[in-house]
Amino acid sequence: MATAHPAPFLTSPRSFLAHYLALRPLQFTGVVLLILSAAACAVAVQYGMKLLVDAMAAGEEGHGRVWQALAFFITLIAVENALWRLAGWLGCRTLVGTGVDIRRELFAHLSGHPMRYFAEHLSGALGNRITGTAGAFGAALGILLWNVIPPCTDFVGALIIFSGLDWRMAAALALLVMCVAAWLAWFGAKGRPLHNAYAEQANIVSGELVDVVGNIWAVKAFSARTRELARLTKKFEAEAVAQRRSWMWLEKTRTLHDIALTLMAGSMLLWAIWLWTNSRITPGDVVVVSALTFRILHGSRDLVLALVNTTQHWHYIGETLRTIGKPHEIVDMPDATSHIGLGGAVTFEDVTFGYGEGRPVLRRFSLDIPPGQHVGIVGPSGAGKSTILALLQRLHDVDGGRILIDGQPITRLTQDSLRAAIAVVPQEISLFHRSVMENIRYGNPAATDEEVYASARAAHCDAFIRELPHGYDTLVGERGVKLSGGQRQRIGIARAILKNAPIIVLDEATSALDSDSERDIQHALEALVRGRTVIAIAHRLSTLVSFDRIVVIEDGRIVEDGSPQELRRRRGAFDRLWRLQADGLSMEAPVESSVQD
């Protein structure tokens, strides 16, 4: 089975960050420069306060300098505020735009996974992960920009100012801050397993909640509201325990920092006052030492906690990349081309395929279908019927042999062009929570309204659509829940008619319908299959009597092949299935598992 390495930026959070920074280098550079400038102005404001205090302490001699210092002070405040607002404006545009890029590219990669991948993961949880990853990236980068850069700038600015007062004070401040930051970082890192456990528990709870909401019909039908509420409550409580442990570790970190803040701030102030009593610094120097000391120490706490929070966000991103960023199992070959011929010929040549390491479902399976021929595939459950259709659409890759369309191996075609040549009408029609018009037009986005109406008439659904509250503009609900099974089926057929593909695949298109609905669907299918190659699976063999050919599959092999009338005369496997149904017995289980089949 062919696989492909994911894009390099999906391999780790670090490469993920680098990729999106590289997409907008000028914007991110501008944000960093604005924040650096604003933080530098914030430090300069403290120095401006020193000048103002010194001028005021000079008495009458300092009157002139007071107004100059005040003007300098106010100007710095205005410039600082302007720079913060500009940084916020540019940061908003940059981070929001990056969030769009992240969701677009993650969905593009997610949609390339095979159907087996989606069967193994909750669809709602996957969607939440894409949105959550964009949010986590924005939050992590926002923390780095607004909670890491300013404290670092404050520290550097304070060292410059303190060096002008007393180099020993600057050295002491640098040593103390680095020791406290290292200590808090070490203590915070010890709590990382708690933060990661909370993030994992939150993801589990989110997936469980999505699963229950997605199956709310079953919850109601089996009177399971109380049972599910109790089950979810246990999940919520487990998440709450993990959240409390994570939160309280952060509170311990804050408590330790507060103790260090008191000791360090007191020490620096005592030192500054001692220097002032010896006339070695001015009152303004004492003010700036006090202001910058508290600013730096508060900033160091914010810095450490910001790094802890960033770690949580990176953990979430890393977990998403491990889930969504897996290599694609089915990929286009480097020299893949678009489907060219439109005849609709289908050929299976010695195809072997199995799910996992179990017994193969198909073994050296060969089948040749000329263009325009209508072929029905029948057989017991697990014989391989649905697998044949899945392999034709390249939802899985064969283990041996090859499949051709119009003489072209499907592995040599791009997946999109291959599937564009095939219109599928499954047993369960999947509709979007959009209008009827949008759902039908999904088969051909470029179709005009008149073409949509014509397809609906051909599918015998125009009449009931116009009776809906808003006609073609009526929203059908999630997965088409507002429509009956027969109505959804006819809309699915209208969509397939509009697609105008040369190959039609019918996968139990009428087996779940009542007799009246089935009759309507059969009339609609007549318009769909006319002049096209048709491959159909049907539980009800009576729906295949008009087909050119019936292929009977047993244990992954063709045991009979011929027209319906010919196979009846042979008194073989097909005739036996026919007589079982005629006697009112079920040929197969009502629902056929695509994994088993």
pLDDT in tens, 340-349: 667 889 999 9
Look up residue 146 and give its DSSP letter: I
The beta-strand segments (E) located in 241-361 are: 346-353
Which residue range forms the structural domain that includes residue 45? 13-324
State the average pLDDT for the chain.
Answer: 82
Instruction: Assign residue 457 the CATH number of its domain.
Output: 3.40.50.300
The beta-strand segments (E) located in 127-240 are: none
Total count of domains within the chain: 2
For residues 76 and 199, state if they share a domain: yes
Section 70-78 average pLDDT: 88
For residues 397 and 467, state if they share a domain: yes
Residue 193: pLDDT over 50 = yes
Confirm whether 528 is domain-assigned.
yes
Contact at 8 Å (CB) between 182 and 304? Answer: no
Instruction: Assign residue 238 the CATH number of its domain.
Output: 1.20.1560.10
Last residue of a domain, one of 275, 297, 324: 324
For residues 313 and 424, state if they share a domain: no
For residues 423 and 565, state if they share a domain: yes
For residues 504 and 572, state if they share a domain: yes
Confirm whether 342 is domain-assigned.
no
Confirm whether 349 is domain-assigned.
no
For residues 388 and 292, state if they share a domain: no
For residues 407 and 316, state if they share a domain: no
Confirm whether 590 is domain-assigned.
no
If you average pLDDT over each of 36-50, 155-169, 332-346, which comes out highest? Answer: 36-50
Residue 516, phi-psi category: left (phi > 0), alpha (psi -120 to 50), beta (remainder): alpha
| Side chain identity, residue 94 | T
> Over the stretch 18-29, which tens digit does the pLDDT of each residue have?
899 999 999 999
Look up residue 431 and give its DSSP letter: -
**2 — pLDDT class (breaks 50, 70, 90):** very low
Confirm whether 341 is domain-assigned.
no
For residues 266 and 382, state if they share a domain: no
For residues 522 and 419, state if they share a domain: yes
Please give the backbone phi and psi of residue 133, each rounded to the nearest 5 degrees, phi first: -70, -40
Residue 4: pLDDT over 60 = no
For residues 285 and 418, state if they share a domain: no
Confirm whether 337 is domain-assigned.
no
Look up residue 145 and give its DSSP letter: I
For residues 426 and 474, state if they share a domain: yes
Residue 526: pLDDT over 80 = no
Q: What percent of the chain has pLDDT over 70?
A: 90
Contact at 8 Å (CB) between 329 and 1? Answer: yes
> Over the stretch 488-500, which tens digit does the pLDDT of each residue have?
888 988 898 888 8
Confirm whether 563 is domain-assigned.
yes
Confirm whether 519 is domain-assigned.
yes
For residues 560 and 486, state if they share a domain: yes
